Structure 1
Amino acid sequence: MTERFFLYDDLEDTKTRFVSFMGENQRFDLALVRSDRYYGKQLVLDIQGSRFAIIGTDDLEEEGYLEHAFQLESKDAEELRAFLYEVI
């Protein structure tokens, strides 16, 4: 067997916030991971939907980003966007 070639193998301290809230149409169960690795952005994991994205305020302003990343309808994405603006 050949030797494994790592592109990187780092350990990093992170701070994770678990939050669950009910939107008008659906429940959001999220893990927000803060780290120095993503240049001020946070890793947002949708636990129920098994999706994740690296998100900063610039991503929240990009049209259709949350809809695509989390496979949400526009109204649900707006609720998530409003919450993320408060915490990111």
Structure 2
Amino acid sequence: MELYERLYDETERVNVRFVGVTTDKSRYDFGMMYTNMFFGKPLVTCMQTGRSFLMCAEDAKDVEQLQRVFKISDHQEAESLSEFFMETLPHMSVEPQY
């Protein structure tokens, strides 16, 4: 008996960009996976912690969310990363699907 319903099972070749940045206090290494899945938003992964977040430039404006997702205690650090992501990630407006 099948206990689950498969919603999707896709295979795709994706572009991945690796970027290392420094702020006044820390170094960050990110992998950004660009795919057609997830409404076109890149999956951003912090290589030090393994924490990932689907994010576009508009999402990067939310500094408090960046702090929570990537466990950044210093608000100024999160603001610096917010600026970096707003310059680096694609701009898009995504309507909520659910």
Report the TM range for the smaller structure's normalisation. Answer: 0.7 to 0.9
Q: How does 1:1-88 map to 2 (within 5 A)?
A: 5=4, 6-72=6-72, 73-88=74-89
TM-score, with normalisation over the residues of structure 1? 0.85
Aligned AA for 1:54? L
* CA RMSD after TM alignment: 1.6
TM-score, with normalisation over the residues of structure 2? 0.77
Distance in 2 separating the partners of 1:63 and 1:80: 8
Identity percentage over the alignment?
A: 28
Offset at residue 22 of structure 1 (A): 1.5
Offset at residue 4 of structure 1 (A): 7.1
Q: What is the total number of aligned residue pairs between the two structures? A: 87
Aligned AA for 1:47? M
Segments of structure 1 that go 5 or more residues without pairing to the other structure are none
Other structure's SS at 1:64 match: helix
Distance in 2 separating the partners of 1:27 and 1:62: 20
Distance 1:76 1:61, change over 3 A: same
The answer to which structure has the higher strand fraction is: 1
